[in-house]
Amino acid sequence: MANTKINMLGNGPLKVEGDFSITDPNGNAVDCKQTVFLCRCGESKNKPFCDGAHKASGFCD
Ligand code: FES
pLDDT tens, position by position, 17-32: 999 999 999 999 998 8
Number of domains in the chain: 1
- pLDDT of res. 33: 87
Region 31-42 average pLDDT: 94
- The answer, yes or no, to whether the previous bond of 48 is cis (omega within 30 of 0) is yes
Distance of alpha carbon 8 from alpha carbon 17, whole angstroms = 12
Q: Look up the CATH number of the domain holding residue 55.
A: 3.40.5.90
Query: Domain limits at 5?
Result: 1-18+32-61
Residue 24 lies in a domain: no
**Residue 1: which pLDDT band, with cuts at 50, 70 and 90?**
low
Q: Is 48 in the pocket of ligand 1 (CB under 6 A)?
A: no
Report if residue 25 sits inside a domain.
no
Task: Please indicate, yes or no, if residue 23 is contained in any of the structural domains.
Answer: no
- Decide if pLDDT at 15 tops 90: yes
Q: Do 38 and 14 touch, CB atoms closer than 8 A?
A: yes
CB contact at 8 A, 37 and 52: no
Question: Is 12 near ligand 1, meaning CB less than 6 Å away?
Answer: yes
SS (HEC) of the chain: CCCEEEEECCCCCEEEEECCCCECCCCCECCCCCEEEECCCCCCCCCCECCCHHHHHCCCC
Is residue 27 in a domain? no
